[in-house]
């Protein structure tokens, strides 16, 4: 039960790390915006660590790879928590390279889940990715496909969902004309109480009642 979440987290870690290695500029800028050392070397260094930890988690999880993955994701969760408190308006946390990833509670929770899955997987027999897939038989085909779809959805969730939620606001189209209708009704009643009805001559100061 833990394996799909664990290997999904490992795969996303490798993907994010590779993105930082080949395109470090956005991550470096995000680190600078957070008040941290933001050089290209630092960004690439983070990417290399992610790739190494992700690959280790897939190949040798029982030999420390699972624990390393759990620890790294918890570090990322702490970084996101810092941004949410100190830099809530940050345009991106730099986690996905060139793709802007606004810091969000959703991203924080996903990092915590990934971190916990790493430590939990370390307490099991912790087979590597190849051994786990081989043990699935033909079921490996839909499961691996499902992992790919889940990975894609996770990326969409952390990149698109926060921005969409921030820009959304309830519409009030259905109530646009209600206040106007109420105002007209109130005005008519006030005119009637004052003895002024629609078409009453007193509405036309230049015309005397006898002139009509």
Residue 139 confidence (pLDDT): 84
CA 61 to CA 67: how far, in whole Å?
8
CA 164 to CA 18: how far, in whole Å?
27
Which residue matches tokens 């519409």? Answer: 171
Domain positions in the chain are 2-167, 177-211
Which pTM does this prediction carry? 0.73
Residue 154 confidence (pLDDT): 84
Enumerate residues 6+ apart whose C-beta is below 8 A from 190: none
- Can you list the residues of the chain whose pLDDT is less than 50? 169, 171-183, 200-205, 207, 212
Residue 193 confidence (pLDDT): 57
CA 16 to CA 196: how far, in whole Å?
74
CA 106 to CA 157: how far, in whole Å?
8
CA 5 to CA 23: how far, in whole Å?
27
Q: What are phi and psi of 96, to 5 degrees?
A: -120, 30
User: What 3-state DSSP class applies to 60?
Assistant: coil
User: What 3-state DSSP class applies to 108?
Assistant: helix
Residue 88 confidence (pLDDT): 78
């Amino acid at each position: 039960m833990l394996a799909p979440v664990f290997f999904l987290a490992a795969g996303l870690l490798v993907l994010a790390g590779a993105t930082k290695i080949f395109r470090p500029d956005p991550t470096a800028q995000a680190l600078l915006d957070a008040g941290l050392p933001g050089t290209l070397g630092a960004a690439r260094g983070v990417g290399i660590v992610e790739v190494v930890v992700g690959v280790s988690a897939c190949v040798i999880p029982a030999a420390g790879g699972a624990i390393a993955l759990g620890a790294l994701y918890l570090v990322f969760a702490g970084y996101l928590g810092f941004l949410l408190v100190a830099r809530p308006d940050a345009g991106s946390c730099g986690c996905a390279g060139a793709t802007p990833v606004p810091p969000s509670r959703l991203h924080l929770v996903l990092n915590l889940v990934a971190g916990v899955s790493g430590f939990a997987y370390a307490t099991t027999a912790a087979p590597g990715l190849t051994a786990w897939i081989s043990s699935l038989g033909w079921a490996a085909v839909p499961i691996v496909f499902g992992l790919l779809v889940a990975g894609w959805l996770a990326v969409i969730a952390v990149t698109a969902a926060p921005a969409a939620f921030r820009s959304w606001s309830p519409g009030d189209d259905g109530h646009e004309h209600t206040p106007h209708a109420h105002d007209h009704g109130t005005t008519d009643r006030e005119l009637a109480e004052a003895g002024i009805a629609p078409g009453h001559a007193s509405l036309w100061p230049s015309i005397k009642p006898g002139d009509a």
